Chain A
């Protein structure tokens, strides 16, 4: 039994016009303690939605199906009380743009202490002491806790958000684009911190991002998402060097510097609309290796080896694929 199990998760959103958007289309994942998994894809592919589902933070316009289990217990429920039990104590989150994730009228220390006291992890002076320790852990001087968020720089705020996320000793830490709003130098520091904390505290980490170098620095494995589904998973180095899905290959090719090339090669075309049923492979209109089967039959995410999965017909047809891969 894994720490976190996602089985066939579907999420639909009701739109003001009456249609439904199928934002997440049958996603399954496993996460164990100590894993550092990346969730990669373009904007709009559904990765943030998945992460919000793990905490039950979807809006009322959402409908979900499938199962999410944390330590064996199903947490894909609409019962606020059950959800509240695991929020922050089992699974916690760092959001993008900590500028706004921190309440501007409360001190940083207060915001770290509050969940501790609410969940009964610690109280009073003990809680404040622990908050101070967490701040130190993320590289902020302890007495800075009495300050307000606007007095911190962007990088410091993100560190504070990290300290806050660790307040109740969670087992899983979700990080949604934690460094996108920061400049490159600060980015690297925060990511290093993330890795160090994960290792030191034995956290399971899910890092959501569209930025491949970020995933490369932090994660040991990743799931690549496209149009609401996972199209490939596997260890980072294999995804780089031997991708088994054309989207993965093109995604890495589109990132400058990753393979040594200098120019950005963007993938022509746009992702499919999610308010209509997708016929065939969702990526086929933009794929450079698409063939007949791709237009009519939707590929399943299949296990290719012990730690590899991919959703591409090319993996079934070595003759067409040529080199046995995308």
Chain B
């Protein structure tokens, strides 16, 4: 017991001390309801997802049709102006959002599948497969992300599906580590052994016992991975490694750069797209961080503070 035994026990049982093993379904709602950060993050994400889903109904103009002069400034009809091809920016952003989000989620899905698969194998079977896979993971971690992606994409050719795969290639390692650690620890639990002795197949053991345990941790990892995926998409597109015909937030920024929006002073062709990316990433970050914080609550409060405890003067007694 640490020095804080007495103080924390005073605050004691009533203080919300999260249980190390949560119920499967209610942890998510608990995190959301308890944390403003989680609410804001989730809200931002849902907002962008909603727009992406409702796109066919809310897009004001066709994102591939010119409706005016190049780089027309914002107006009532076009709140964010037009791009270099005379296309309405708002429509571009909505369309771009759809694709960017799809790429981000898809890449994350692939990354999680790869990472999860590797993690499960390494964690469950252990031994030499574990060492081998972990060595591979270590090396992958060290090799710099973007250059690797560039090389693979350059060699392979530009397309969205290639892009998704390349991004996934960069991101699977963290998932692998998390899944492996959890699988290892769960594997050592008694009931897995028991189920094993009952003759249940290995895979069924894994899915029934391991997956619920790692739910929250994986969720945090997934959310944060989406953020990185979307970030990477903009970078790779900027370097010409995405699909040149696709409209994504990354491509909007890229074309603004290539088609001299700067010298034309057309800030509306540049700034909104980046802000959208930034908000989605921030939303992911807030949500992911809130989930992680809920999992690893910092029971230790800082011993330093600029505010001090209050001293009551004798003339004003408190009634406990």
A contact set with B: CB distance below 8 Å: 10, 12-13, 15-17, 20-23, 25, 43-49, 52, 56-65, 67, 76-78, 80, 95-97, 100-101, 176-177, 180-181, 208, 273-275, 277
Contact = CB atoms under 8 A, between A and B. Distances in A.
A101 B3 CA distance: 9
Contacts of B6: 43-49, 176, 208
A45 B305 CA distance: 25
A16 B301 CA distance: 13
Contact of B5 (A16, A48, A100): A48
Nearest to B316: A65
Nearest to A17: B14
Given A44-B6, A46-B6, A275-B14, A78 B1 contact: no
B16 interface: yes
Contacts of B305: 59-60
- Chain A interface SS verdict (over half): loop
A97 B3 contact: yes
A59 B10 contact: no
A95 B5 CA distance: 11
B266 to A, nearest CB: 49
Contacts of A63: 309-312, 318
B309 A78 contact: yes
B320 interface: yes
14 contacts: A10-B312, A13-B7, A13-B10, A15-B14, A44-B12, A46-B10, A59-B301, A60-B307, A67-B314, A176-B6, A177-B1, A208-B6, A273-B14, A274-B10
B5 A65 contact: no
Given A23-B10, A48-B6, A16 B310 contact: no
A48 B310 contact: no
B320 A277 contact: yes
Contact of A76 (B3, B301, B311): B311
Interface string B283-320: 00000000000000000010101011111101001111
B312 A64 contact: yes
Interface in B17-70: none
A46 B314 CA distance: 21
Top 4 A-B pairs, shortest CB-CB distance: A48-B6, A44-B9, A22-B320, A62-B309
B2 interface: yes
A100 B303 CA distance: 13
A49 B10 contact: yes
Interface string B54-97: 00000000000000000000000000000000000000000000
A65 B312 contact: yes
B308 A95 contact: no
A65 B10 contact: no
Nearest to B308: A78
Contact of A60 (B12, B309, B314): B309
B20 to A, nearest CB: 20
A217 B6 CA distance: 22
Contacts of B4: 48
B5 A43 contact: yes
Nearest to A7: B314
A59 B307 CA distance: 9
Given A13-B11, A21-B11, A176-B3, 17 more contacts: A15-B11, A22-B320, A43-B5, A43-B6, A44-B9, A45-B6, A46-B10, A48-B6, A48-B7, A56-B309, A63-B311, A64-B311, A65-B318, A95-B3, A96-B1, A96-B3, A97-B3
A62 B310 contact: yes
Nearest to A225: B6
A97 B4 CA distance: 11
B10 A21 contact: yes
A19 to B, nearest CB: 8
Contacts of B309: 56, 58-64, 78
B12 A10 contact: no
B129 to A, nearest CB: 35
